[in-house]
Amino acid sequence: MRDVDTSHDVSRHVSDHEPHYASHNASNDTSPDAGHRRWLADARLMRSLPPAAWTLFRLAEYKRGGTATHMWRVGALAWRFAQALGMSVIESQALGLAAALHDTGKLCIPNAILEKPGKLSPAEVRTIRMHPQLGADMLSAMGGAACELAATVARTHHERYDGAGYPYGLSGTRIALAGRIVALVDVFDALASHRPYRAALSPAQIAAAMLAERGRHFDPWLLDCFLERSLGAALAISSGAR
């Protein structure tokens, strides 16, 4: 069977950042994350990743700090948002799968840092900021188009639209479209999910916090589309609704 087409940037198939683009309108799994990953039950999509990449998902499930659950939710959020943007079934599934691997590099970060309740030291900040490139390196080494897209997402999901992100300080459309999308849904999930140090924010609080970062952290056009088209579905995913 032909491999799923998961280009290095989803924008190879759709015009990046154009208004007309926005105008398009595992059943036996009982694990806690099952509801967030049933959308992956497509044979072509499953075959697009090498076995080693699936092993990363399994390893994440043994990582403390909520890494695995967050990864699956971000995958589901990216998938639903891609649909709202008008991407095809294959494109949206491919982006969702890549998004679910966005925090692969955290497998290399000590739990003591990931779970630290207080402020991180400068050295700990430097360590945790290594995870985008660590994840990208692991995924790129596996080869194949699906892993290259996942590597792009891993590498760029902490970049900011204004250039103040990491690891490379990219800005605007120099950040891959896939990375800009995942940066947005990654932060959304952090705001909408319960954390040890705070409760989940309300929908109004989430919208206000994200709008404050319009054009700074987030691509303005993508943020507007997300809040207008995907907020309800996203809240259901991040709140744990099935």
Residue in 63, 106, 116, 119 annotated catalytic: 106
> Residue 196: its pLDDT value, please?
67
Does a structural domain hold residue 193?
A: yes
> Residue 114: its pLDDT value, please?
86
> Residue 118: its pLDDT value, please?
84
Highest mean pLDDT among 67-71, 129-133, 230-234: 129-133
List Cβ neighbours of 12 (8 Å cut-off, separation of 6 or more): none
Candidates 140, 137, 110, 171; CA nearest to 8 is 140
Q: How many CA atoms lie within 13 A of 72 on its CB side?
A: 22
Has this prediction a pTM greater than 0.85?
Answer: no
pLDDT digit string, tens, across residues 83-116 = 999 999 889 989 999 999 999 999 999 989 988 8
> Residue 98: its pLDDT value, please?
93
Does a structural domain hold residue 5?
A: no
Structural domains in the chain (count): 1
Rounded CA-CA distance 39/89 in Å is 10
List Cβ neighbours of 106 (8 Å cut-off, separation of 6 or more): 60, 63, 65, 67, 114, 131, 135
Does a structural domain hold residue 66?
A: yes
Does a structural domain hold residue 2?
A: no
* Residue 106 annotated among the catalytic residues of the structure: yes
Does a structural domain hold residue 21?
A: no
pLDDT digit string, tens, across residues 174-225 = 999 999 999 999 999 999 988 766 788 999 999 999 999 999 999 999 999 9
Mean predicted confidence (pLDDT) in 138-154: 93
Query: Which tokens go with 143?
Result: 């080869």
Token pair 């659950």 is at which residue?
Answer: 69
Candidates 119, 24, 130, 111; CA nearest to 60 is 111
Does a structural domain hold residue 20?
A: no
Does a structural domain hold residue 10?
A: no
What residue numbers bound the domain in which 121 lies?
Answer: 33-238
Query: Which tokens go with 1?
Result: 């069977």
CATH of the domain at 209: 1.10.3210.10
